[in-house]
């Protein structure tokens, strides 16, 4: 069959809180196939965010490796990491994390600037994505002039900008009401239908219920990995 788009092998992360070691991840291994729409759930402190930041190269694991598209990204040097983040990863955060001084369009545009995409192409892609997110008429608004749901849609558009291999979303619906939550989940669902690989960390069972695979974490380990029927 197809090679997995993400492979995690024996990943461990130990933080030092003063002199006390905190084992945020303990020997985690699993694969994600292309186009999968999966969620990671589990109690607070079980290591979900830590796990996401290892895949997204925001932090280095203590031991173990992550492969994306067959490349061992955990071996990437500090100078290679930005390129891998640009080309392979799209992040969506709980707090939207848009740059407050830039408009919606510019926020999406910024992600492509770092990838040295030409100005005309950047604009074309940003407009296309924001239109797809239903924000065509909000493009020139600053984040402070947008609702939470709109901001998160801008963030999703930004995550998509460089055609990433995988989108990593850490509690993307943590700060919006249920109606907006449903809309965001539908949006992500739609993207996954088009072949986009998406990994969501969530506390919300209504969100995980929409995904096709649920990984449950506990104390830094995978407690269960359930594929939903019909996939």
Partner 1 sequence: MFDIIFRNITQRKLRTGLTVFGIALGIFAVIVMGGMSEHFNQTFDRSISLTADKIRVFPEIGFGGGNLNESKAREVKRVPGVADAYGLLQAALDPESLGFFGGDVVIGVEPEKFPSLLKDTKLSEGRFLTVGDGYRTVLGSSVAREFNLKAGDEMQIKSKRMQRTSSITHARNFTVVGVMEYTGSFFDNGVLIPLNIAQKFYNRGDTVSFILAVPDPNVDAEDLSKRIELNVENIKTFSPEQLRKQIEQSLIVFTLITISAAVLAAIIGGLSVMNTMLMSVSERTKEFGLMKALGAQTRDILYMTMGEAAIMGVLGGICGIIGGGALVYYLNDFLASKGTVLFSVTPRLLVIALVFSILLGVLSGLYPAYRAAKMSPMEALRYE
Least Å from the CB of residue 181 to ligand ATP: 16
From the list 4-12, 45-53, 57-65, 179-187, the region that binds Mg ion by CB under 5 A is: 45-53
37 by DSSP, 3-state: which?
Answer: strand
As a whole number of angstroms, the distance between CA 148 and CA 150 comes to 5
Among 107, 94, 29, CA closest to 61: 29
Measure the CA–CA gap between 76 and 62, rounded to whole angstroms. 14
Q: Residues 172 to 231: which contact partner 1 by CB under 8 A?
A: none
The reply to whether 58 sits near partner 1 by the rule CB under 8 A is yes
The token pair at 82 is 């930005």
Residues of this chain, 35-54, that bind ligand ATP according to CB under 6 A: 44-50
How near is the Cβ of 226 to partner 1 at its closest, in Å?
29
Shortest Å, Cβ 115 to partner 1: 6
* Burial of residue 211, with CB atoms counted within 10 A of its CB: 0-12 exposed, 13-18 middle, 19 or more buried: buried
Residue ranges that bind partner 1, judged by CB under 8 A: 53, 56, 58-59, 78-79, 82-83, 85-87, 89, 91, 93, 97, 99, 101-102, 110-111, 113-115, 158, 162
């Amino acid at each position: 069959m197809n090679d997995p788009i993400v492979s995690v092998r024996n990943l461990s992360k130990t933080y030092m809180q003063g002199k006390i070691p905190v084992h945020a991840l303990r020997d985690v291994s699993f694969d994600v196939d292309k186009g999968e729409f999966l969620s990671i759930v589990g109690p607070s402190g079980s290591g979900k965010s830590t796990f996401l930041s290892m895949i997204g190269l925001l932090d280095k694991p203590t031991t173990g490796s992550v492969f994306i598209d067959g490349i061992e990204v955990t071996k990437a040097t500090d100078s290679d990491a930005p390129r891998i983040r640009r080309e392979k990863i799209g992040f969506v955060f709980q707090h939207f994390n848009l740059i407050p001084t830039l408009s919606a369009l510019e926020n999406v545009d910024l992600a492509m600037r770092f990838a040295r995409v030409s100005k005309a192409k950047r604009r074309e892609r940003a407009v296309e994505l924001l239109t797809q997110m239903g924000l065509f008429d909000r493009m020139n608004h600053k984040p402070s002039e947008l609702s939470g749901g709109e901001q998160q849609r801008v963030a999703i558009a930004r995550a998509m900008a460089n055609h990433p291999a995988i989108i990593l979303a850490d509690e993307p619906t943590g700060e919006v009401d249920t109606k907006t939550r449903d809309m965001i989940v539908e949006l992500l669902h739609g993207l996954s239908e088009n072949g986009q690989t998406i990994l969501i960390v969530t506390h919300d069972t209504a969100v995980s219920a929409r995904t096709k695979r649920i990984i449950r974490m506990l104390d830094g380990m995978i407690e269960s990995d359930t594929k939903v029927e019909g996939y």
